[in-house]
């Protein structure tokens, strides 16, 4: 076969793969009255035309009645009873309802109240009709549904991914080796500023936490640890980390996100905030609760004009995965761009599965990882790059009495961080209206980095840009998402 023929075959294969990828998902067709179909269709057209579409969840149908995330769609194989199907449908409907509420709040000019009420009435009516059909054994065809991933196949085809990934892997491995060498090697420098969660509640004891999670699992047929808002907030406070940030400039001070103008994002450092979000994962035949904590910085300062990684906005996500009894199984962390995924196993039985050839290796730290249940984790960050370089622990009892062996600044001079709901970022106030921090593709355009030009063959849209929950692709080589339903299960095993 000549070189020309090989290229022709490669292009033909690329076209076939693109066609198959485009046809992979077909929206569900719902049973709905003609009048409601028109009402909901008009709303879908309005949200798209006026640019308020929220990308945190994925709509299953063209009317926006049901929505899923990666975890919820991962539950579909477990829907083997009517109770499970009904619970799943209601959870899916509530995701879409929350999305709809946010989009309606961001709509400008606003829809009249009667139109809003009609939309909600029709959405509720459609849910009831679907529940009735499920009871008759006529359910939706969910088996073929999936959440689109955040890798563009066409980029990998035309970027010659099988070849170009070989040039990406060595610097990734080198960067990970450097991180391992630096982890837990140095105490926070004198320029460190300490941040602590602004909490007044008493800490929970392990038995109480275990009981809360057990009751939550028993409340639904799928065994999800679904907690009411007050209990979830209590757990968020209990496991919330503190931060030790090497502070050399204003770019190293976390703050509250807001819009200064409709086109300019501001990080208010006078109001330090840590955003929170609950998620779930499958592990060892159990569904585990995950607590996610987000901090934001105004920028990652550029070291020069050709700095690939510097630019507006920066931040970290810290995740705590809880076992069924409330003990911490593991922590993991990424930057808000989805970059530099690190794992911190707490349970020593958690072992890495063998690396797959030509897959991005895992960055795992095992040295002196605090347990998180009986002590608060303090995350040590570098200045400018905001990289995790160490973990400290602070006794809950010592925190209440303000005396232990840690530096006094952890307690006496630390800056309080107020906990806020992450979903607040989907609808922020600006100039008398509301607007999401994220564009309708889940990205923050002003945070684009130069690295996107270098890494586009890896398939990720605007690599290095900050992005919304549900859109954090975490591997340049291979495919991984931070919110995958079985991420830990796919990467680790028990020994």
Residue 390, domain member (yes or no):
yes
Question: C-alpha angle 99/104/109, rounded to 5°?
Answer: 155
pLDDT of 197-229, one tens digit each? 987 555 788 999 999 999 999 999 999 999 999
Q: Tell me: do 58 and 186 sit in the same domain.
A: no
* Spatial separation of the C-alpha atoms in residues 245 and 183, rounded to whole Å: 15
Residues 6+ apart with CB under 8 A from 30: 61, 63, 65, 66, 126, 129, 130, 140
Q: What is the 3-state secondary structure (H, E, C) of the chain?
A: CCHHHHHHHHHHHHHHHHHHHHCCCCCECCCCCHHHHHHHHHHHHHHHHCCCCCCCCEECECCCCCEECHHHHHCHHHCCCHHHHHHHHHHHHHHHHHHHHHHHHHCCCCCCHHHHHHHHHHHHHHHHHHHHHHHCCCCCCCCCCCCCCCECHHHHHHCCHHHHHHHHHHHHHHHHHHHHHHCCCCCCCCCEEEEEECCCCCCCCHHHHHHHHHHHHCCCCCCCCCCCHHHHHHHHHHHCCEEEEECCCHHHCCCEEEEEECCEEEEECCCCEEEEEEEEEEECCEEEEEEEEEEEEEEECCCCCCCCCCEEEEEEEEEEEECCCCCEEEEEEEECCCCCCEEEECCCCEEECCCCCCCCCCEECCCCCCCCCCEEEEEEECCCCCCEEEEEEEEHHHHHHCCCCCCHHHCCCCEEEEEEEHHHHHCEEECCEEECCCCCCCECHHHCCCHHHHHHHHCECCCCCCECCCCCECCCCCCCECCCCCHHHHHEEEC
Q: Rounded to the nearest 5°, which phi and psi values hold at 99? A: -60, -45
371 and 408 share one domain: yes
Flag whether 14 is in a domain. Answer: no
275/161 same-domain check: yes
Q: Give domain status of residue 306, yes or no.
A: yes
What pLDDT score was predicted for residue 140?
Answer: 85
The closest alpha carbon to 295, from 325, 348, 333, belongs to 333
User: Distance (Å, rounded) from C-alpha 45 to C-alpha 169?
Assistant: 43
Tokens coding 320: 């705590």
How many C-beta atoms surround the C-beta of residue 33 within 10 A?
12
Of 135, 165, 196, the residue that ends a domain is 135
pLDDT of residue 204: 83
- Greatest CA separation found in the chain? 77
CA distance linking residue 248 with residue 193, whole number of Å: 10
In a domain? residue 6: no
Does 277 share its domain with 394? yes
Domain membership of residue 482 (yes or no) is yes
Same domain for 416 and 269: yes
Q: Are residues 369 and 236 in the same domain?
A: yes
- Contact (Cβ atoms closer than 8 angstroms) between residue 150 and residue 479: no
Say yes or no: 344 and 281 in one domain: yes
How far apart CA 380 and CA 391 sit, in angstroms, is 6
Is 60 part of a structural domain of the chain? yes
Whether residue 160 sits in one domain with residue 76? no
Whole-prediction pTM: 0.92
pLDDT tens digit string along 374-416?
Answer: 889 999 999 999 999 999 998 765 444 333 334 333 445 789 9
Do the beta carbons of residue 196 and residue 415 sit within 8 Å? yes
| Separation CA 60–CA 56 (nearest Å) | 13
406 with 198: CB under 8 angstroms?
no
Under a CB-based contact definition with an 8 Å cutoff, are residues 50 and 433 in contact? no
Ranges in the chain, pLDDT < 50? 8, 19-20, 22-23, 398-411
> Using CA atoms, how far apart are residues 230 and 207, in angstroms rounded to an integer?
18
Please check whether residue 145 lies inside any domain of the structure. no
The pLDDT tens digits of the residues spanning 84-103 come to 999 999 999 999 999 999 99
**Cα–Cα dist 195/425, whole Å:** 21
Q: Which among 83, 103, 135 is the end of a domain?
A: 135
Put the strands of the sheet holding 375-381 in their side by side order.
363-364, 342-345, 328-335, 311-322, 286-300, 273-283, 415-421, 192-197, 242-246, 375-381, 388-395
Residues 106 and 185 in one domain: no
Supply the pLDDT for residue 408.
36
Residue ending a domain, choose from 81, 106, 135: 135
The number of distinct structural domains making up the chain is 2
In a domain, 19, yes or no: no
* 87 and 204, same domain (yes or no): no
Range of the domain at 95: 34-135
Residues 332 and 475 in one domain: yes
Is there a single domain that holds both residue 130 and residue 246?
no
Task: Give the sign of the dihedral formed by CA 461, CA 464, CA 469, CA 472.
Answer: positive
């Amino acid at each position: 076969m000549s070189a020309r023929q090989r290229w022709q075959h490669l292009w033909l294969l690329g076209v076939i793969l693109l066609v198959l990828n485009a046809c992979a998902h077909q929206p569900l067709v719902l049973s709905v009255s003609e009048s409601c179909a028109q009402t909901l269709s008009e709303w879908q057209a309005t949200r798209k035309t006026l640019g308020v579409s929220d990308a945190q969840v994925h709509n299953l149908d063209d009317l926006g009645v049901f929505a899923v995330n990666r975890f919820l769609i991962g539950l579909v194989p477990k829907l083997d009873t009517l109770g499970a199907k009904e619970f799943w449908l209601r959870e899916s409907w509530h995701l879409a309802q929350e999305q709809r509420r946010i989009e309606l709040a961001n709509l400008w000019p606003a829809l009249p109240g009667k139109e809003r009420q009609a939309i909600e009435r029709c959405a509720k009516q459609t849910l009831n009709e679907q529940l009735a059909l499920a009871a008759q054994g006529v359910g939706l065809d969910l088996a073929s549904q999936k959440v689109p991933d955040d890798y563009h196949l066409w980029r990998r085809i035309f970027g010659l991914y099988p070849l170009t990934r070989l040039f990406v892997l060595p610097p990734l491995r080198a960067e990970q080796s450097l991180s391992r060498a630096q982890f837990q090697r140095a105490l926070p420098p004198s320029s460190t500023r300490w941040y602590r969660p602004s909490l007044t509640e008493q800490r929970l004891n392990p038995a109480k936490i275990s009981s809360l999670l057990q009751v939550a699992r028993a409340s639904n047929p799928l065994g999800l640890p679904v907690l009411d808002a007050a209990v979830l907030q209590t757990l968020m406070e209990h496991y919330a980390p503190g931060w030790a940030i090497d502070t050399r400039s204003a770019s190293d001070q976390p703050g509250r996100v807001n819009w200064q103008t409709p086109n300019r994002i501001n990080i208010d450092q006078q109001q330090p905030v840590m955003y929170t979000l609950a998620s779930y994962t499958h592990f060892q035949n159990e569904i585990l609760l995950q607590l996610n904590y987000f901090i934001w910085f105004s920028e990652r300062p550029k070291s020069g004009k050709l700095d690939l990684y510097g630019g507006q906005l920066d931040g970290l996500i810290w995740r705590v995965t809880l076992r069924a009894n409330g003990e911490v199984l593991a922590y993991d962390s990424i930057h808000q761009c989805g970059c530099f995924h690190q794992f911190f196993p707490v349970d020593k039985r958690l072992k890495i599965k063998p690396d797959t050839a030509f897959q991005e290796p895992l960055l795992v730290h095992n040295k002196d990882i605090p347990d998180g249940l009986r002590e608060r984790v303090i995350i040590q960050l570098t200045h400018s790059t905001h990289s995790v370089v160490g973990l400290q622990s602070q006794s809950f009892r010592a925190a209440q009495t303000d005396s232990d062996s840690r530096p006094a600044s952890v307690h006496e001079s630390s800056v309080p961080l107020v906990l806020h709901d992450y979903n607040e970022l989907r609808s922020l106030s600006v100039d008398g209206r509301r607007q999401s921090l994220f564009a309708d593709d889940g990205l923050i355009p002003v945070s684009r980095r130069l690295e996107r030009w270098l890494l586009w063959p890896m398939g990720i849209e605007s690599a290095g840009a900050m992005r919304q929950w549900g859109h954090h692709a975490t591997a340049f080589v291979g495919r991984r998402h931070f919110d995958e339903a079985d991420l830990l299960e796919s990467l680790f095993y028990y020994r």
